[in-house]
Amino acid sequence: MDNLDIEKFSNIELSKDDVASISKKCNELKGLQQQIEDKEKEISELKKQAKEYEERTIPDMMQEAGVQKLELADGTKVEVKPFYAAKIPESRNDEAFSWLRDNGHGDMIKNVLTANIDKGQDNQVSELVRICEQLGFAYSQKQKVEPMTLKAFIKEQVEKGKEVPFDMFGVYIANKTKITNK
């Protein structure tokens, strides 16, 4: 942005000094935006490196050394613990819910019912699930498993040695390093 042509956007005539000042600030803004973008990329790379140390490098080194916990000279405590994450992919909801029901875990599934109810029909809400179609209400139903419930379930099943379809539940398990400062 060498020269700013404000006249294209306005009927006001500006002095060359005004145009130069505005142009300078616009160029400074572009520089700041580029610095922000560069720093965000740098932070992203640092997070990737930290995750590698946290989930692979340090757990592997501690496993080779035969320890799960240790204390550093400065009093910092280091521990490697299993980390669990799970998220049912949207495309596999029906399949995952069927598996949960078929394997005795259907109580984890939450049902969310949404309906459009006219004013003055509040007294019918308690009966809505049973008679929704009878009354002609437009409704939608969504089923879900709360993320923390799914995570706890996966952890419990894995630790009990039970088989769970990892891909269906988007399971991610890693050993994770936890560092606690004194």
- Segment 39-71, tens digit of pLDDT: 999 999 999 999 999 999 999 999 999 999 999
Task: Quote the pLDDT of residue 136.
Answer: 75
CA distance 108 to 88: 13
pLDDT of residue 82: 92
pLDDT tens, position by position, 13-39: 778 888 999 999 999 999 999 999 999
Q: pLDDT value at position 25?
A: 95
Tokens 């005795």 map to which residue?
104
More confident residue, 9 or 154: 154
Q: Per the structure block, which two tokens stand in for 139?
A: 């409704």
Q: pLDDT value at position 116?
A: 67
Q: State how far the Cα of 16 lies from the Cα of 137, in Å rounded to an integer.
A: 66
8 A C-beta contact, residue 105 and residue 97: no
pLDDT digits (tens, 9 = 90+) for 66-82: 999 999 999 999 999 99
pLDDT tens-digit series, residues 156-176: 999 999 999 999 999 999 999
Q: Count the Cβ atoms, other than its own, within 10 Å of residue 60.
A: 12
Distance CA(82)–CA(158), nearest Å, equals 11
Give the sheet arrangement for strand 172-180, strand by strand: 69-71, 77-85, 172-180
* C-alpha–C-alpha distance, residues 70 and 179, integer Å: 10
pLDDT score for 160: 95
Q: What is the pLDDT of residues 87-143, one digit of tens each?
A: 999 999 999 999 999 999 999 998 777 766 666 666 656 666 677 777 777 677 677
Confidence of residue 1 (pLDDT cuts 50, 70, 90): very low
Tokens of residue 83, six digits: 């980390």
CB contact at 8 A, 45 and 153: no
23 φ/ψ angles, rounded to the nearest 5 degrees: -60, -40
Rounded Cα distance, 115 and 130, in Å: 13
Three-state DSSP class for residue 102: helix
The neighbour count for residue 99, using CB atoms within 10 Å, is 17
Q: What is the pTM for the complete model shown?
A: 0.58
Residue type, 40: E
